[in-house]
Structure 1
Amino acid sequence: MNIETKFLGQTEIKEEEILTFEYGLPGFPELQKFVLLSLDADLPLAVLQSTDEAQVGFVVAYPFVFKKDYTFEISDEDKEDLRIANEEDVVAYSIVTLKESFPGSTLNLLAPVIINSAKKLGKQIILQDNAAYPLRFPIGSLEGSAK
């Protein structure tokens, strides 16, 4: 099936790639169907795109590339919502706030997007220890962060 996207124009997706966010995302509770679209195979970035609303898409990043010691616990309630049975099925992303130059962009480490890849379920959670990670973590240069 084809969908219109915010950043990539019209894109073909497969039905089995669609992720369900039962509670939507903060600010978009009515949008529950999203897909992850790769931006560049060499970058740890993707687009979390609504399948229902072309203008709702978020650049997301694999946060561990930029903050190697990033770690958090998923609450029992969130595990239940996401039907997590195996830790290997869990993938975490951070929403990126893009700036004019990429090194000036930031990651939201306070509220990761958690995906259960086996069940195709997603949820953005707010970490309980609010002081541990910032809402706007500076990305810096990708080359410098990856070393």
Structure 2
Amino acid sequence: MKLNTKFIGEVEVTEQEILTFEHGLLGLEDEKKFVLLPIDANLPLAVLQSVNKVEIGFVVAYPFVFKKNYSFKISDEDKEQLHIENEEDVITYSIVTLKETFQDSTMNLLAPIVINVKQKCGKQIVLQDSKAYPLRFPMHSLEGSAK
């Protein structure tokens, strides 16, 4: 099916690419269906795009590239909601707040998006230890594997 996106125009997606967020995203609890669209194969960035509303799309980043020690535990409740059986089935992204120059952009490490790629479902999780990671982590401080 053809899907209009907020950032990259019209794309072709299949039903198998649709991810279900049972609880939506923070502030968008009614929006349940998204697709994850790569921006460029060489970049640790993608677009998380609503299937139903073109105006709802987020640039997301693979946080481990920018913060090498980034880690958190997924609660048993979240594991159950995401049907997680193997850690290998899970990928984590952080929502990016784009600024005029990319070096000034930030990403949200406090509320990561966890996706079970095998079960095609996701959830935005607010980390309980709010002091562990900031809401606005500067993306210019490449601490991870992209150095």
TM-score computed with the length of structure 1 as normaliser: 0.96
Percent identity, please. 67
Which runs of structure 2 are paired with 1:54-133 in the superposition (5 Å)? 54-133=54-133
Structure 2 unaligned blocks of 5 or more: none
C-alpha separation between the residues in 1 aligned to 2:52 and 2:5?
10
* Alignment partners' CA distance in 2, 1:124 and 1:63: 14
| Aligned length, in residue pairs | 147
Q: 5 Å matches for 1:1-12?
A: 1-12=1-12
SS of residue paired to 2:88? helix
Return the structure number with greater helix share: 1
AA in 1 matched with 2:28:
F
User: 1:139, 1:145 within 8 Å by CA — same for their partners in 2?
Assistant: no
TM-score by length of 2: 0.96
The Cα shift of 1:142 comes to: 5.8
Q: For residues 142 and 109 of structure 1, what CA distance do their matches in structure 2 show?
A: 14
1:143: Cα distance to partner?
Answer: 9.8
Quote the Cα distance in structure 2 between the aligned partners of 1:72 and 1:144: 16
1:137 alignment counterpart: 137
Question: Contact 2:65/2:143 (CA < 8 Å) preserved in 1?
Answer: no
101 and 144 in structure 1: CA distance in 2 versus 1, 3 angstrom threshold: farther
CA distance in 1, matches of 2:120, 2:9: 23
- Where does structure 1 lack aligned partners over 5 or more consecutive residues? none
In structure 2, the partner of 1:20 is 20
Mapped partners of 1:23, 1:124: distance in 2: 8
User: What is the one-letter code of the residue matched to 1:87?
Assistant: E
Describe the shift of the 1:144–1:82 C-alpha distance in structure 2 as closer, same or farther (beyond 3 A): closer
- 1:123 Cα deviation from its structure 2 partner: 0.2
